[in-house]
Structure 1
């Protein structure tokens, strides 16, 4: 239970740090947010708990394929905001698009031989 709390605290600290950097320097905050810090941290923690080469390889490859459906959100939200859409509506639409693309990836990926 302590390990879970430590993981949650570290993750929360990363998010808070990114928000603080983004408040002062939006482009730098975006750069830090785009770094695969959570993915790398997740792989380190997963490896410590289950040092299995094949499991890690599947995890890393699936992470790559799951990043792709999330990318359009970062183009759609700015366009909606600049078109005058309220922030929460643009964010909701971007998230809905991402969920729809994840569901499509889950359906299409295995047909293309992807291990998701």
Structure 2
């Protein structure tokens, strides 16, 4: 149980740090947010729980394929904001598009030989 609490606190601290950095240096906050810190920590925790090379390889490969459908959101949201859409609407549309792209990846990825 303490392990789960520690992981949650670490994740929260990372998000808080990005938000604080972003108040003064938005580009630096974007750089920190773009780092695969969550993926790396997830791999470390997964390896600690189950040190299996094949399992880790599959996890890492699937993470790569699931990052791709999330990328358009980071271009779509600024485009909508610059067109005058409210932030919450732009965020909702960006997230909805991302969920749709995830569903497409899950549906068609394996058909294309992608192991998820």
| TM-score normalised by L of structure 2 | 0.99
In structure 1, the residue matched to 2:84 is: 84
In structure 2, the residue matched to 1:113 is: 113
In structure 2, the residue matched to 1:37 is: 37
Q: Which digits, 9 at most, give the CA deviation of each residue in 1:93-114, with x for residues without a partner?
A: 0000000000000011000111
2:34 corresponds to 1:47: no
Question: How far off its partner does 1:87 sit?
Answer: 0.2
2:57 corresponds to 1:74: no
Question: Aligned partners of 1:18 and 1:84: how far apart in 2?
Answer: 25
Q: Name stretches of at least 5 consecutive residues in structure 1 with no aligned partner.
A: none
Secondary structure, aligned partner of 1:62:
helix
Q: Which digits, 9 at most, give the CA deviation of each residue in 1:53-73, with x for residues without a partner?
A: 000000000000000000000
Question: How far off its partner does 1:23 sit?
Answer: 1.2
Q: Name stretches of at least 5 consecutive residues in structure 2 with no aligned partner.
A: none
Aligned length: 116
RMSD of the TM alignment (CA)?
A: 0.4
Secondary structure, aligned partner of 1:115:
coil
Runs of 4+ off more than 2 Å: none
